[in-house]
Structure 1
Amino acid sequence: MQSYVTLTIENKVGYVEFFHPDHNALPTDVLEQLNKTLNDAGHNDAIHVIVLKSGGERTFCAGASFKELIAIEDSETGARFFSGFANLINTMRINPKLIIGRVQGKAVGGGVGLAAATDYCLATKYASIKLSELSIGIGPFVIEPAVTRKMGLSAMSQMTINAEVFYSAEYAQEKGLYSNVYETTAALDVAVKTLAETLATYNPEALKQIKATFWENTDHWESLLLNRAKTSGELVLSEFTKNKLKGFR
């Protein structure tokens, strides 16, 4: 199957869905499409609430595309790649619409950052999480502010250091990443639809203002995340990381 990003509107809810055949990894083109689609949905008067979801069953998002990471040959290209994640998180942060995350499966690296950047996140019991960046010689620099904001510095540090460990969906719920965890994808979808359609009946201006309140004191993220992208873009060129990535060819 080909990768895609789609927007479907139903009962004033905008469902933004992304897919990539490589475990829903996010290469630059998908990041840019997702960024634009979320921005468009945020400024569409027919949409009162956004749901962010991915295609497939057992993986929500595998994070950065390793194929693209392997191809990076200079720091400018590296910074540009990681800026895709920075721009996406910032778009979600300043989006005037509440964004509900629907996480049906595993989230790795940038996928965890994506879930953390939603305003309210629901998941299945299969939605374990992992921050694998340190194990390949880089680090979760770009997504750190979003993950720390949701889960706290202690949990963020724990997952970063234990970079080869998957943490359960129950752990993610306990630490505040997920609001609820469901036994099946079908149950998850019912919960997401019910919540989103209920919120869509509320005063749009109140939703906009409460979203802005949730994200107070994050204006500096505009520059912070781009600076973090430069750090990652430099580290991905290290001999250590290049050798690690050879194993993923």
Structure 2
Amino acid sequence: MTTTRQNGSLYTHIHAKIATIEFGHPASNSFPIKLLERLQKELITVGKNPDVAVIILKSEGKKTFCAGASFDELIAITNKDEGKLFFNGFANVINAMRTCGKLIIGSVQGKAVGGGVGLIAACDYAMATENASIKLSELTIGIGPFVIEPIVTRKIGVAATATLTLDATQWQNAYWAKEKGLYSRVFETKKALDEEVILFAEKLASYNKEALSEMKNVLWYGTENWNELLSERAEISGKLVLSAFTKKAIEKFKK
């Protein structure tokens, strides 16, 4: 089941030192700003919870993991400030994932586009099904994946990021993503994915929490300037979304 709530849904379940955060939205699990803000705050809250050792991040339904930011909100942007605020949504979530202090396992059951790819890359370990293809289509509407580029490049390298970004209409399958390092493991079915994600989370949760926290710090070494960097990238996208090219591309898409 996928939520029918206009602003989406976000639920957290904590059991045996594992916090499962599940998000959903009727538009292919895309993120309006309000839902991104809720996810950011929830990551910070769960990260401070002493009863949590590890986080699982997943989405509702079977077909799509995340379609990125809300297209309806994108087309409603009228000025640079609104544009920066919009693109800062994913920047803030990525920074919360980076600094929350808990290792995050991504459970990716379906396709991911744009910011959804950024969410996966921001997980410390991600598993997926064969259906979890990825695409960065931002150039087709005159902008680019500037906010998520640092985390995607950090995970899969410059060459693979260039392939995703420049070949903006092409889906790359889950095995390509695994080969490049975005996914650690790929499964044939969602059932197998769900089972292995839980088993892996239980294994991590049995380890020394201080060691897990220190490992998180080590894995994210060198990203201390990302609050400023991702905000600067959001400003670039916020400016480009007002361009004549983008307005024309969006109108064409709407028709």
TM over 0.5: yes
Equivalent positions of 1:1-249 (< 5 A) are 1-2=4-5, 3-249=8-254
1:148 partner letter: T
Native 8 Å contact 1:116 1:146 kept in 2: yes
Q: Which runs of 5+ in 2 are unaligned?
A: none
CA distance in 2, matches of 1:53, 1:4: 12
CA distance in 1, matches of 2:87, 2:125: 24
1:9 partner letter: I
1:112 partner letter: V
Residue 248 (structure 1) shift:
3.7
Residue 247 (structure 1) shift:
3.1
CA RMSD of aligned residues (A): 0.7
Question: What TM-score does the superposition give when structure 2 sets the normalisation length?
Answer: 0.97
CA distance in 1, matches of 2:185, 2:85: 35
Residue 39 (structure 1) shift:
1.0
Residue 38 (structure 1) shift:
1.1
2:55 partner letter: I
Question: What TM-score does the superposition give when structure 1 sets the normalisation length?
Answer: 0.99
**Secondary structure of residue in 1 paired with 2:224:** coil
**Secondary structure of residue in 2 paired with 1:26:** coil
1:232 partner letter: S
| Percent of residue pairs bearing the same amino acid type | 55
Native 8 Å contact 1:6 1:37 kept in 2: no
CA distance in 1, matches of 2:52, 2:13: 10
CA distance in 1, matches of 2:69, 2:245: 18
Q: Name segments (4+ residues, structure 1) moved above 2 Å.
A: none
2:180 partner letter: K
